Structure 1
Amino acid sequence: MMNTVYEKITYLFDPLHHQWEHEKLARKISVGLVVFFLVGLFCIELRRLGLLPDSLAAVIPQSHFSAIEMAFTVVLILEVISLIFTLPCSFSRSVGKQFELLALILLRNAFKELSDFPEPISFAGNEEAILRILSDGFGALIIFALLGIYYLIQKKKQDETMSAVDLFGFVAAKKGLALLLLAAFIIMGIRSAWLTLHGVEHADFLHDFYTLLILADVLVVLISQCFQPGFYAVFRNSGFALATVIIRIALAAPPYFNVLLGIAAALFAISLTIVSQQLFRRQLAGRR
């Protein structure tokens, strides 16, 4: 019975994943992103010239720098979708993808500060904003560097220690969860777009979706316990889930603290990886 469910989930997930990772689609998305950026600049210029109707001008920003923030928001959305498709991979790979998102969010925050700058850009009166740009920019760079270390020290995926039957079931269960997250992401995105077009203030849906990712990570930990009930796997996966919680807190934290929390989460994930691989080497060797 369960094998049939797993097969149907795999049959639905794999074609979607293949299409998303296809090189032709990636090129089309890249071209579309360039067009989106240029159209955004054009619409902003039309508003500055007073050539847009009031209903449309109300949702178009005035600063040309806002086009940069909008472009990075689209990039971030694309990366979130990639993260969803990464969920069925190893737990460590999925967590690494979330650090990639954190680094991009910090860069987006830095560009977002520019939207409040006057044109032409000036230093006077914008000292605090410049400090926040430096904080988010260097914070993203440090997390990017720590992410490189994190990927460098990763070894063989722990999922491979399972039997073939258990591995298929575990991966299929994560694929089913990824499909549910994808549906939730699309619904939340449509709702956010609708509220934006109608001028209704609302929280960033990407941050709200990150809360779902935390719950999904915890659920994956519980699911993995059905296939890997040992203490080592449970502690390791739970530790990675805690790292994602720290990331979520970083997203909600004020400037400067968000960078510190992000770096702390990356250092925690690196430390967890080193400890689990070096100090528990014998246990890993016995499982293989």
Structure 2
Amino acid sequence: MRLMYLALESGANVFDWLHCKWEREATHRFVVTLLALSFIGTLIAVEIDKLGLLPPHLSTIVPDNPFYAINVAFTLMLVVEVVSMIFILPKSFSRSMGKQFEILSLILLRSSFKELVNLHGTLTFPDDFDILGRIMTDGFGALAVFLLLGFYLRLQRHREHTKDGAALYAFVITKKVLALLLLAIFVSLGAFNAWQLASHGELLHFFLVFYSVLIFSDIFVVLISQRYRPSFEAVFRNSGLALATLLIRLALSAPPYWNTALGVSSALFAVCLTLAFNSFRQSRIAD
């Protein structure tokens, strides 16, 4: 038991070191610069490819539409947000859920921009009607998730306390090790995706796979919270938030229109769950 505790502490120390590096201002400036250069670089690569100046092996993976540069920029932005979400996980399960809704809203916005590549140079009806419908649905869906996120964050009034300081410490370092594992999986998925693109010109459903992993990590947090903080309302809330993650995962693989409906439903469910949790907690305090 002592060896396991030392292993958890070592993993938590590695996590803290990485978190400190990630939060540095220099890291933030580097990431922002990388996003801007990736956007500009993709635009330049598309135009060079149109002129036939790229080698054949590069030409096969470079998109032929400049609007793909927006997709690249949003994808990299999502990568940054996912890393931030992983670092937030040990602090608060509910806060990390809020970060997931931020990511979901960006994914829906990215979906709107991705449809631009399917539009004709000049809008034609009824050919472009369905494409415009998907753009507007994803756009308004992103706005709805953003609004619900504001309500969700405003409702986060509770503070999780425990009388046992040792139990709280063990709970936190366990979540830090879990977050470290999630970060390793995320980086591995990214490396595999880059290899797939370079060797086969194909991409796997990156965020879809990661959200599948995230569902299992959420359930694990529910289980370990039962060990360190056994209370019905906390277990119910955390289980409900895990269900919200599942709805997001389903939204990522759903067809047009259904993806927006599921995404907005997940945010609405989290808001209703938090309202019920706060009401239950207040009634417990009153008793």
TM over 0.5: yes
Contact 2:158 2:278 in 1 (8 A): no
Q: Which is further off, 99-108 or 121-130? A: 121-130
Contact 2:60 2:201 in 1 (8 A): no
Counterpart residue type for residue 207 of structure 1: L
Partner of 1:180: 181
Contact 2:61 2:201 in 1 (8 A): no
Q: CA deviation at 1:200?
A: 4.8
Q: CA deviation at 1:6?
A: 3.5
Per-residue CA shift, 1:78-134, capped at 9, x if unaligned? 11111111111211111111111111111111111112334xx32113221111111
Partner of 2:236: 235
Contact 1:58 1:199 in 2 (8 A): no
Q: CA deviation at 1:215?
A: 0.7
Q: CA deviation at 1:203?
A: 2.9
Choose the corresponding residue for 2:78, options 76, 79, 97: 76
How many angstroms apart in 1 are the aligned matches of 2:159 and 2:42? Answer: 43
How many angstroms apart in 1 are the aligned matches of 2:201 and 2:92? Answer: 39
Per-residue CA shift, 1:126-180, capped at 9, x if unaligned? 221111111111100110010001001111332x335221111111101001111
Contact 1:150 1:269 in 2 (8 A): yes
Q: Which is further off, 108-117 or 186-195? A: 108-117
TM-score, normalised to structure 1's length?
A: 0.94
Partner of 2:36: 34
After the TM superposition, list the runs of 4 or more consecutive aligned residues in structure 1 that deviate by more than 2 angstroms.
Answer: 2-7, 115-118, 160-163, 199-203, 282-286
For 1:190-269, what aligned pairs fall within 5 Å after superposition? Answer: 190-269=191-270
Number of residue pairs matched by the alignment:
283
1:148 and 1:9, CA in 2 relative to 1: closer, same or farther beyond 3 A? same
Contact 1:63 1:116 in 2 (8 A): no
Q: CA deviation at 1:282?
A: 3.7
Q: CA deviation at 1:3?
A: 4.1
How many angstroms apart in 2 are the aligned matches of 1:11 and 1:284? Answer: 36
1:246 and 1:52, CA in 2 relative to 1: closer, same or farther beyond 3 A? same
How many angstroms apart in 1 are the aligned matches of 2:253 and 2:146? Answer: 20
Contact 2:211 2:245 in 1 (8 A): no
Q: Report percent identity of matched pairs.
A: 46
Contact 1:113 1:133 in 2 (8 A): yes
Partner of 2:148: 146
TM-score, normalised to structure 2's length?
A: 0.94
1:200 and 1:66, CA in 2 relative to 1: closer, same or farther beyond 3 A? closer
Partner of 1:60: 62
How many angstroms apart in 2 are the aligned matches of 1:112 and 1:172? Answer: 40
Choose the corresponding residue for 1:134, options 127, 136, 142: 136
1:240 and 1:284, CA in 2 relative to 1: closer, same or farther beyond 3 A? farther
